[in-house]
Chains A and B, each alone.
Chain A
Amino acid sequence: MVVKNGLSNIVGTENVIDGNDVPGHYSGDMSFAASVRPQAVVKPNTMEQVQAIVKWANETSTNLIPLSSGPPHFRGDTIPAHEGAVVVDLTRMKKIIRVDRRNRVCMVEPGVTFGELIPALEKEGLAPLITLVPRSHKSVITSFLEREPFTIPRFHWEAQDPLYCVEVIYGSGDMFRTGSAFGPGTLEEQWAAGRAQVRGMGPSQVDFTRLLQGAQGTMGIVTWASIKCRPLPKIKETYLVTSDKLETLIDFAYKILWKKLGEELFIVNSLTLSAILNQDSNKIAEMAGSLPPWILVYSIDGSGLMPQEKVDYQKADSLELAQSFGLELKRVAGGASADDVQKIISRPSTEPYWKLRYRGACHDMLFLTTMDKTPGFIKKMHELAGDGNYPADDMGIYIQPMSQGTNCHIEFNLMIDPENKGLAEKVSRIDSEGCETLAHMGAFFSRPYGPWAKFAFGPDAQTVIALRKVKSIFDPNGIMNPGKLCF
């Protein structure tokens, strides 16, 4: 009751849930994280309310778990590690504060989803950089705070992209703005001087934005962010490039990236593409069976002053390149249409979320590597699946070049029937044991959720020491999402 009163004073009674009224999705998710019920959920809708909550939490030694996306959740990072925590649910913070066409940037609050942002950007001739068919309730800000990959590597110059500046309430209760948003002047004064919060670096000799990325809410709570956008294409051509050999598609992808051609560029296996395109599990299985094992999705945007000419020359160059690898730029493959793929990857997922359509539940394993090493990891994952009696045919695979091809994200989607507890246990074992095996092979768990943290931080004591120093500066009382990462 004390907690409820304290929080109600800040956000109003109607925006606090406590005790048994707390819905189950705040206590557990689709990961293997232990279920822990928070003592309350609080739903602020302004920066000032968030700041008051953090100050209250410091005074009352209450742990806070920030959360910006709606359910279902998959990674365990928004589930309290300890009893007595309060979830700060930011889904009411839905303002699209600014869209700036000239500087190709938008400023949004954490509750804004891709589905809400897309039409607002379209009106101004912009489009978002979007992750691979995100779930409909997924927060745009959270996606990029967590360094999730987006589908156009040409715009992904480096790991911080497309996030620029953020406003954050640190665990200390202090408000700060990162990058060029720190000042001089208020946001309004900066806008009047032509500034657009497009420099994510700094201020000064520290990259404050970078210290919040990958933090899983352990440093503070972000209340808005400025995010890079891209020009809305006037025309677009998408192709499916298929092969039985992943290595051939990887070599082709390297060459496309070196030539700086095209926009969307990623590789999926047949099950992932089919799950993205189909709703029904039988149809997913059917199309997955008729598709070649590997599909590279590749598109060319026609935007700017000469859209058709751009598409024409890039298409001609791409065709020549594909031919040199014995590949074709197909509009249809195995019953999948490139146009359908394009429509679907430009938006959030329809319900149910595509990862859940085939078997009802899904557990992801994801890490960074380089594209040339992905075949080795895939082989190992198949071995791990075989050893663990998990049907490897139920495993989706997604390879996303990042940093303009310098490295890549690889994701294994282990789809499972939620009623099949035995299989879930097997997947849990593959997850924990496989993580160690993959880490020894060089997999980089840059976003170490749950048990992966042990292998991500285990070999590197100095990183842990340094991160704890940073944590003590921004969250001196350790109230922000304790029990995650190395904190």
Chain B
Amino acid sequence: MSLSREAYRALEDIVGPENISEEPAILDGYCFVWANEAMFDDRFSARPLAVVLPESIEQVQGIVRVCNRFNIQFRAHSSGWSCPALSSKESFLSIDMRRMDRIVAIDAKNKYAVVESYVSMQKLFLQTMKVGLRPHTIGCGPSGGILASATSNFGCGNTSASSDFGGRVPLGVEWVLPDGEILRLGTLGTGSGWFSGDGPGPSLRGIMRGYGGATGGLGVITRAAVKLTPWYGPPALKASGKPNIYDIEIPENFQINVAAFPDRDQLTDFFVLVVEEAIAFALHRSPAASLAILSTSSGDDFWQMVSASPPEVAEAMKFIGVLMMDAGSPREMQYRYDLLQKIMERTEAMNFPMGPDMMGPVFRNLVTGQGQQRVFNITTGFLTAAVNEESWDSVKLLGQRVAEELYAKYEAEGKIAITGENPWFAPLGDSFAHTESVVSYDQFDPESIKAVREILAEADIKLPQWHLAVGGAEGCLSFDEASEKAAAPYCLDFLGYEKKIKKAFDPNLVSESSFYVKP
């Protein structure tokens, strides 16, 4: 498939010849997508029709209008890390937002920043930490786009206990709708600035995204304000070490505790108490392997460390919680430390000793999100087959059942790698919990890929039956017709409404919908 010459010239007129390409060598760079084989049973995503690089909202609007005129499917992406950014079975026009990378404003007093689509979490953090603030960070790491997680995709990470779920931080938003019109949410629409995204009247943020984002299926977000959270650390972090294991000096008013629990109930109680007491900067349940991932620089090193560990260590690390506390004063840190001792006593927690070599990488991971991506080192590919946000007890149960009733069989057959019951879970703000059960698979092994595809399909069927989640149908990674059908008997017809919304806001169905509903 290719663009008509007329359509190509229309796009070229908008962005200039240097910012559009349909050269195969260039386009193939947009085809290598994490987990494409698990989503679409193909190592590479479909080659885009072309790639276009706008630098302003006017150019984005022009591109979208051309797409409507010539009936061209488009999808925009920023860093492109996540599978829904690029992955597809069918070709579409890829809008690469990398030229829109400006931090427009930081309002330190009112704790928000205005950024364009391609600004990464780390780029923003480096600026906001100078004024005592930080953005939310998510598990994909510091190079991920700040707006992607806030406005268009999933958004949670180690610091979500203090900085909230990405989907809850947008304020004013500038949005090119699928029909080419520009919608400005909240205060931006009335010319009042960027400080609120809700209203007047019903909040159209509810159309922009829900629990999941529209993942490119409902236009292009070009700028948005995001809420920031206090940062009590220094205006710059001191890094040392060699690639790819960096160390960061831990500031005095930060403290890391890794605790091991006798069982999942005590671990869960620990999370409930820590969240209610509001003492966490970062908090997550860590798969036992994650500490090894952070402290090893390659897959070989990782497996060497795992195989050298005595079985009793693995058993002791079965239920691990990682907490980092920050404090605005020495008094606060003392109070938090004392309180943590009480909580640990109540939940029968044991401090898990970590050497100084481990502390820096763990701190870096907790603050920036960098490091966890080395999960690819385990077996080259991974997926989170069961994702949900709800109460602590329900995510605990989900992790347990997924491990025992979905993963165990495949692990025993050696088709996937997990290390026992290992969901990652973390609080989102002060209200609820998030969980992801990670499956590591070998993207070069057809049997392993087949296994992970089967797991995704089984999850779609079993999760609703357990009344715990609805698998891919809530816009995670495996959103497809099968997941919709599996969820439908157990749920109210949310997809029916979503399809009406899609039709109302994208009348020509040009905003590519592999990861959004199709009417």
Contacts and interface: CB of A to CB of B under 8 A. Distances in A.
Contact of B204 (A194, A370, A470, A472): A470
B211 A199 contact: yes
Contact of B467 (A184, A218, A258, A259): A184
B141 interface: no
Contact of A203 (B393, B396, B474): B474
B497 A176 contact: yes
A478 to B, nearest CB: 15
B203 A210 contact: yes
B165 interface: yes
Interface in B191-250: 191-193, 195-207, 209-215, 217, 227, 230
A462 B189 contact: yes
B331 A313 contact: yes
Interface stretch (B44-52, B94-102, B287-295, B424-432): B424-432
B200 A445 contact: yes
Contacts of B494: 176, 182, 202-204, 206, 208
Contacts of B487: 183-184
B504 A463 contact: no
A374 B494 CA distance: 41
A24 to B, nearest CB: 28
B178 to A, nearest CB: 12
Contacts of A1: none
Interface in A460-476: 460, 462-463, 465-467, 469-470, 472-474
Contact of B390 (A159, A180, A473): A180
A405 B196 CA distance: 11
Nearest to B111: A406
Given A201-B167, A205-B475, A206-B497, A196 B200 contact: no
A483 to B, nearest CB: 13
B468 interface: yes
A442 B209 CA distance: 26
B195 A206 contact: no
A474 B329 CA distance: 50
Contacts of A154: 278
Interface string B151-173: 00000000000001101110100
B315 interface: no
Interface stretch (B26-34, B338-346, B359-367, B405-413): B338-346
A11 to B, nearest CB: 25
A103 interface: yes
A443 B192 CA distance: 6
A107 interface: no
Given A205-B212, A208-B497, A194 B200 contact: no
Contacts of B498: 204-206
B211 A202 contact: yes
Interface string B18-47: 000000000000000000000000000000
B270 interface: no
B206 A448 contact: no
Given A184-B490, A190-B467, A442-B192, A486 B186 contact: no
A32 interface: no
B391 A442 contact: no
B111 A206 contact: no
A213 interface: yes
Given A203-B211, A469-B504, A183 B490 contact: yes
B112 A406 contact: yes
B343 A305 contact: yes
B212 A446 contact: no
Given A193-B394, A371-B110, A473-B500, A185 B198 contact: no
Interface string B243-264: 0000000000000000000000
A207 B209 contact: yes
Contacts of B501: 206, 470, 473
A207 B212 CA distance: 9
Interface residues of A, number: 97
A91 B203 CA distance: 26
A204 B396 contact: no
A249 B410 CA distance: 61
Nearest to B468: A193
Nearest to B492: A182
Interface string B72-102: 0000000000000000000000000000000
Interface string B342-372: 1100100000000000000000000000000
B200 to A, nearest CB: 4
Interface residues of B, number: 102
Contacts of A369: 192, 195
B272 interface: yes
B199 A260 contact: no
A463 B200 contact: yes
B495 A204 contact: yes
A193 B272 CA distance: 17
Interface stretch (A113-121, A415-423, A451-459): A451-459
A304 interface: yes
B477 interface: no
B204 A260 contact: no
A185 B490 contact: yes
A466 B204 contact: yes
A270 B175 CA distance: 43
Contacts of A204: 210-212, 473-475, 494-495, 498
B454 interface: no
Interface string B473-507: 11100000000000100111111011011001100
Contacts of A340: none
A260 to B, nearest CB: 6
A368 interface: yes
Interface string B430-442: 1110000000000
B202 A456 contact: no
B391 A195 contact: yes
24 contacts: A103-B391, A184-B468, A201-B210, A204-B494, A206-B210, A214-B200, A214-B202, A218-B202, A258-B328, A259-B329, A260-B328, A261-B328, A305-B346, A306-B342, A368-B199, A371-B109, A403-B196, A405-B111, A406-B111, A444-B199, A446-B200, A465-B181, A466-B207, A473-B497
Which 9 pairs, one residue from A and one from B, show the smallest C-beta to C-beta distance?
Answer: A202-B211, A446-B199, A183-B491, A210-B206, A184-B490, A194-B393, A185-B467, A207-B206, A456-B200
Given A231-B276, A304-B339, A466-B207, 8 more contacts: A102-B391, A184-B465, A184-B469, A184-B490, A192-B467, A193-B394, A204-B211, A444-B199
Interface of A: 102-104, 147, 154-155, 157-160, 164, 175-177, 180, 182-185, 189-190, 192-196, 198-199, 201-216, 218-219, 228, 231, 254, 257-261, 304-306, 309-310, 313, 316-317, 368-372, 403-407, 439, 442-448, 453, 456-457, 459-460, 462-463, 465-467, 469-470, 472-474, 485-486
Interface of B: 107, 109-112, 132, 164-165, 167-169, 171, 177, 181-187, 189-193, 195-207, 209-215, 217, 227, 230, 272-273, 276-278, 328-329, 331-332, 334-335, 338-339, 342-343, 346, 389-394, 396-397, 429-432, 463-470, 473-475, 487, 490-495, 497-498, 500-501, 504-505, 516-517
